[in-house]
Amino acid sequence: MLPPAFWLLGLLWAFHPTLLSGLKEVQTDPGDPRLVNYILEHGWRWLGGAPGHERFWSPPFFYPAENVLAYSENLLGAAPLYWPWRAAGLPPDTSFQMWMLSAATLNYLAAWFLLRRCLRLGTGASCAGAFLFAFASSRTAQLGHPQLLPQWYSVLAAAALARLFDGGDAGKGDAGKGAGGTFKAGWIALFFLGVAGQLYASLYLGWFLLVGLAVAALWAAALPACRAPLLRILKAHGWAIALGAMASGLLLLPLAWPYYGASREVGPRTYHQVTYMLPSLASWIYPGEGSWLYGWLGKLPPFRSFRYPAEHSLGIGPITTLLVLIGFCRFRQRAPVRLLALSAATLFLSVTAFLPGSSLWQFLFPVIPGAGAIRALSRIALLFLLPASLGLALFLESCKGRWALLLASAAAVLEQGHTTSSYDKMAVRAEVAALSRAVDRSCRAFLYTPAADRAKARGAHRYHLDAQWAQLGSGIPTLNGYSGSSPPGYGLEDCRLLGSGDLEGVEKALALWAERRGLRLEEACWIKAIPRAE
């Protein structure tokens, strides 16, 4: 009964605002979660051929720009967890809540499979390690960016590597098979499918996985204890590995091409844009203001200065961190453990700013492929949960006596307790419905520019998201848009009418956008303000 008990406890730990409200509350705020929900809903409508959603990479916002989905995550690899809930008749926001719970569940199951079935650790140790991977405080702190939830593909890739290098010498008698009689070619295929699947599910997490694998490969080549089995595998299964690499490359081409086009349009990020989200030493300690045990740390000077506190909430608790380190130290004689520890240490030293705004990353940033697309480098902490879960499981495996195991597990679980904000989905539904009713169905497209008191105004992205959801309700494309970037020449990022000069500014930006994109202004409806539902 331990696996389901730890899973249920983890869901309650991370999603208690959602679960205890009877799914009335959505975590965390009506910002990025609603964008992710919109992308998932667009994918559902694309799957069914709904009008306006026939082209996957060109959902009807930022109208009439094309390929706008490539400005953000596409979530295609994680969308199948959303589709069954919509097929069952649940509304989009409820389906999104179930998608989050399903993604967390798959993270837990994948980590348990790796620790228990592939690495053959004890049931209790595997459950605690899987709990840490799926429900760590650092993951809960990122629920405001739910595109970072689907990480089970990374675990499956790690599990494939563990089984690939396990059991027998490659090239001898039973070289074609790994542990349990499974053909090693199957684990090679699973590894490449895991890497490709992670990139399809979350570009951030997929890129972190590739960087972690590259660092691990360098250390494997440098360590004699790892180099010998690596060379044996390459010699015995070189063709299978080459074919797997080529197949995954072909599988990723439909993903790479739209993002390549978007990157040429908007350009890469500069190192200066990255500096605000470089993790510092304090970041690795800080678990966030929502931490049950350590939220008070946010009032202290080292943590109070974070510009984006949620992006620096990387801590998993001092006791848990100590247990992870002890676990690695106790099993340091094992070559895979040394490999993982050295790889994690290398990544830690590479991305951490030991002085404000200054780290080794400033030298790596220009040369590592894809680094220019990664603004929030601190999110690499989610990759660190993989070795952390193993380290905790190794410590618990080495505990002598049931009470030591229970106390250590309880301490690690309690330190992950974290509360996030949430919002009433019915209130947001009402606001969107009011806007949707205001959209003239005879219009070719619409622009929403709400009037709002300057002192009480919400962020402009909230109003853009209202318009995107009103587009789903009305079926009319919207000129509004919120994503990771904006199309070149957009100029309508701040759509709010907060003062006397704002109307003229929006008029000019709208005219320039229409001219640039070949849109006739008389065909676009302009909703300047509507009564907001309370």
Q: What is the DSSP string of 427-455?
A: HHHHHHHHHHHHS-TT-SEEEE--B--TT
As a whole number of angstroms, the distance between CA 184 and CA 297 comes to: 48
Give the tens place of pLDDT for each residue, 410-437.
Answer: 999 999 999 999 999 999 999 999 999 9
Q: What pLDDT does residue 400 have?
A: 86
**DSSP letters of 214-236?**
HHHHHHHHH-HHHHHHHHHHHHH
Looking at residue 485, the DSSP 8-state letter turns out to be S
Burial of 515 (0-12, 13-18, 19+ CB in 10 A): exposed
Mean pLDDT, residues 96-122 taken together? 97
Mean pLDDT, residues 463-475 taken together? 97
As a whole number of angstroms, the distance between CA 351 and CA 237 comes to: 34
Q: What pLDDT does residue 167 have?
A: 52
pTM, 2 dp = 0.95
| Average pLDDT of the chain to the nearest whole number | 93
Q: Which H or E run contains 301?
A: helix 301-304
Structure tokens at 94: 């409820």
Of the pLDDT bands very low, low, confident and very high (cuts 50, 70, 90), residue 510 is very high
**Residues 211 and 368: beta-carbon distance below 8 Å:** yes
Residue 129 has pLDDT above 70, yes or no: yes
Burial letters 69-104, b for 16+ CB under 10 A, else e: bbbbbbbbbbbebbbebbeeebebbbbbbbbbbbbb
As a whole number of angstroms, the distance between CA 208 and CA 376 comes to: 11
**DSSP letters of 5-57?**
HHHHHHHHHHHHHHHHTTT-EESS-SSHHHHHHHHHHHHHHHHTT-TT-SSTT
Higher pLDDT, 269 or 101: 101
As a whole number of angstroms, the distance between CA 13 and CA 263 comes to: 38
Give the tens place of pLDDT for each residue, 202-244.
Answer: 999 999 999 999 999 999 999 999 999 999 999 999 999 999 9
Give the tens place of pLDDT for each residue, 399-414.
Answer: 988 898 899 999 999 9
Burial of 330 (0-12, 13-18, 19+ CB in 10 A): middle
291-299, long-range: CB within 8 Å, 24+ apart, which pairs?
Answer: 291/137, 291/315, 291/417, 291/418, 292/414, 292/417, 292/418, 292/419, 293/317, 293/414, 293/415, 293/417, 294/415
Q: In the chain, pLDDT over 70 holds for what percent of residues?
A: 95
Of the pLDDT bands very low, low, confident and very high (cuts 50, 70, 90), residue 173 is very low
As a whole number of angstroms, the distance between CA 145 and CA 149 comes to: 8
**Residues 203 and 148: beta-carbon distance below 8 Å:** no
Cis status, amide bond into 366, omega within 30 of 0: no
Of the pLDDT bands very low, low, confident and very high (cuts 50, 70, 90), residue 532 is low
Q: Dihedrals φ, ψ of 497, to 5°? A: -105, 90
Structure tokens at 331: 């099993």
Structure tokens at 240: 């299978």
Of the pLDDT bands very low, low, confident and very high (cuts 50, 70, 90), residue 455 is low
Higher pLDDT, 529 or 279: 279
Give the tens place of pLDDT for each residue, 344-375.
Answer: 999 999 999 998 868 999 999 999 999 988 99
Give the tens place of pLDDT for each residue, 286-326.
Answer: 999 999 999 999 999 999 889 899 999 999 999 999 999 99
Q: What pLDDT does residue 172 have?
A: 37
CB atoms under 10 Å from CB of 338, counted, come to 17
As a whole number of angstroms, the distance between CA 11 and CA 135 comes to: 7
Q: What pLDDT does residue 457 have?
A: 77
Q: What pLDDT does residue 161 have?
A: 96
Q: Could you tell me the residue ranges of all domains in the chain?
A: 148-415, 423-527
Q: How far out from the chain centre does Cα 66 lie? A: 24
Give the orientation angle of helix 402-415 with respect to helix 381-398, to 10 degrees: 160
Residue 255 has pLDDT above 70, yes or no: yes
Pairing relation of β-strands 25-26 and 423-424? antiparallel
Residues found in the chain: 534
As a whole number of angstroms, the distance between CA 95 and CA 89 comes to: 9
Q: In the chain, pLDDT over 90 holds for what percent of residues?
A: 85
> Which of 47-51, 54-58, 184-188 is predicted least confidently?
184-188
Residue 174 has pLDDT above 50, yes or no: no
**Residues 415 and 407: beta-carbon distance below 8 Å:** no
Residue 248 has pLDDT above 80, yes or no: yes
With CA atoms as reference, report the closest residue to 247 among 193, 209, 208: 193
